Structures are given as structure tokens and as C-alpha cells.
Amino acid sequence: MKVLHYLLIGIVSLGTISCTSPNAENEEDTNELITNTKNIETMKFEKVALPYATDALAPVIGKETMELHYGKHHQAYVDNLNKLIVGTEFENADLETIVKKSDGAIFNNAGQTLNHNIYFTSFSPNGGGEPQGKLAEAIDSKFGSFEKFKEEFVAAGLGVFGSGWVWLAKDDKGNLSIEKEPNAGNPLTKGLTPILGLDVWEHSYYLDYQNRRADHLKEVWKILDWEVISKRY
């Protein structure tokens, strides 16, 4: 019985390593790492690990902003979510399911957990440029050019009243759309797949740009990691 017990532990461990490998090239596995950040041992959600140092995105996003936004705000959403789902139908659910089916405080904290997981993994200190491949083709087809897409995306971000998000999303046929979402909103609730989301809550840019949201939305293109973002398409 002990031999069988250790064999089972080994199989589970190998499965866990395989699913969480940072070198995984499968698109589905990549999205799993971004959206379903639940620790299998504690069964608690965790914020996604940053793929860069907290000062690496400066001056577009400064270290102090990263420490506040990622270290405080994002952590608070994760902590609140873990507390709120105890004893509910969502206690053992994955993050996407919670976002799609919940409401109220659970939705707000689940939405912000997912949104920030996507947001913080969309950047690189070596980012910028333009997407390539199928996403580039889809952008050109929908918007006419990458520059026209940027103009529409920034305009949508400026058009979000108060706090919220601006998203590039796709439907099940691969058709792209720009979505404006208030507060913790995510395109998943509309049956769409989020590809790129920019946070227009003031805590995401105020220390670097004060109330100049337009300047933030202009500069952030310099750090977008299109290799990662394109895998979501």
C-alpha cells in the first residue's frame, strides 16, 4: 500500500509540473497559467507572478506604481476573493467560472483578480512594436491598420467614465471587438475571449501621470508584449 501511495504522489507531482511549466508552448496551457492561478495545495487563488522586476517597466509604469498596484491592490482582490468564496458554490470553482457566474462582491474581486492577471502578463521591458501573425491579420481586417486600431482603442479607454477597463476581445469565430467595461468588467461575461486589457482605474497610472489618462494610454504601447498577447487570439 505504501508503494502504491508514493506512486500516486509521483504521478500527481509530474502532472502538476507538466501543467505549470514556464516553457509550455501550447496556447491553452499558457492561458491556464494566466487565468486559473489557484494553488493546488492550499486551494487558494494567488496573483500571477510578474515576469519582470517591479522597476523594469519604468518610466512608462514606475516602480512605485507597480508596488502599489500589483503589491497592494491586486493582492487585496485575491485575498478578498479567497475569503468570500468559502462555503459558497464557487469554493472549488476556477477563476473564469466564477467571473462568468457570480455577482456582487464575489464578482468584483474575481473579475479584478482575473483582469489583473491578464494585465500584468501583457507587458515586457522589451515590448512595443506591433503584433505579428494571425492577430495582426485580424486587426488589419477589422480596423484597417494597426494605427487605426490604436486610435480606436485609446479613444475607447478615454471614454470609460470613472473606473474600468478597455479590452480587445474576440468571439468564437475570431472576430475582434473593442469593449469598454466599468469597474471589474471582463468580456467573458459577454461570451467573448479577452486578448488585451488596459486598466483605466486611476490607481494604475496616477503616481506616474496624475490625472492624465490620455498620456498613460499613449505611452503604454511601448511596453506591450505582443508575443504573449498574440497567443490569446
Window from 2-11, 88-97, 159-168 with minimum mean pLDDT:
2-11
69-107 pLDDT, tens per residue?
Answer: 999 999 999 999 999 999 999 999 999 999 999 999 999
Residue in the structure block whose three cell numbers are 468584483: 108
Q: What is the mean pLDDT of the chain?
A: 87
pLDDT > 70: percent of the chain: 82
Is it the case that residue 1 has pLDDT exceeding 50?
A: no
30-72 pLDDT, tens per residue?
Answer: 444 455 666 665 568 999 999 999 999 999 999 999 999 999 9
Average pLDDT, stretch 140-169? 98
Q: Which helix or strand (DSSP H or E) is residue 102 part of?
A: none
Beta-bridged to residue 224, according to DSSP, are 123
Burial of 48 (0-12, 13-18, 19+ CB in 10 A): buried
Q: Which residue ranges form the domains of the chain, and what is each CATH number?
A: 63-120 (1.10.287.990), 133-230 (3.55.40.20)
Q: Nearest-CA neighbor of 136 among 121, 147, 125? A: 147
168-187 pLDDT, tens per residue?
Answer: 999 999 999 999 999 999 99
Q: What is the pLDDT of residue 16?
A: 35
